[in-house]
Chains A and B, each alone.
Chain A
Amino acid sequence: MFLGRVAGTVWSTVKWPQAQGLKLLLVRPYRVGDLPPGAAAGASGTTPSEPTDDLVVCADTLDAGPGDDVIVAFGHAARVAVSEKLAPGDKPSVPIDAAVVAVVDRVEIPR
């Protein structure tokens, strides 16, 4: 998993049927220097510097939006997270490999 900030949304009309109705977000991962010691990300803390890494396209079932700090899981864990919102029969076949699994309240990095 990684910690990142939602940078935008992706739309698509041509996609696999199993992906219909899935919202896709663009998330930029934080790197070490983006979160200096003592800094806190999220609503209750100070604002960290902008993330600097490549964008990742993630499925979102938690209604995250631009500016939110989120945790993204990859691979099977991403499909498990998305499957919580789908009918049981759809579970293994969702064609995604990254998903938002949490909207971050607080990041604590002691000095």
Chain B
Amino acid sequence: MIRGTVIGQVWATRKARGLDGQTLLLVAARDAEGQPTGRLVVASDTLDARVGEDVTVAFGSGARNVLRPGPDNRDLLCDAAIAAIVEGAG
């Protein structure tokens, strides 16, 4: 997973069917010191994260488990999802 800050949202009408209904947020990754790395990630959001909030983003099967936990989620089109809204990090 990575930690980052939500900076915006992306809209698309021409898309793979598997993306229908997903909210896609732009997340700017942060490094260990909390500084932006420059990397931008597009992540599915199920937690109603807002712009400016710090979040963790899970990738791969971890991301699918955010959308639908369990072994039968390999039909989902999701490789990055917001897994938590961060309140603090030390």
Binding site for B on A (CB under 8 A): 1-3, 29-33, 35, 37, 61-62, 71, 73-78, 80-81, 84, 99, 101-110
Contact = CB atoms under 8 A, between A and B. Distances in A.
Contact of B80 (A1, A30, A62, A84): A1
Interface of B: 7-19, 24, 26, 28, 36, 38-43, 51, 59-61, 63-64, 74-80
Contacts of B76: 77, 80
Nearest to B79: A77
A109 B7 contact: yes
A102 B40 contact: no
B42 A2 contact: yes
Given A80-B18, A84-B16, A101-B15, A2 B41 contact: yes
A77 B76 CA distance: 7
Contacts of B80: 1
A1 B38 contact: no
Contacts of A104: 10-12
A2 B40 contact: yes
14 contacts: A1-B24, A1-B43, A3-B26, A32-B7, A32-B38, A75-B79, A81-B18, A81-B19, A102-B12, A102-B19, A107-B10, A108-B8, A108-B9, A108-B11
Contact of A77 (B15, B24, B77): B77
Contacts of A106: 10-11
Contacts of B41: 1-2
Given A105-B13, A109-B26, A76 B61 contact: yes
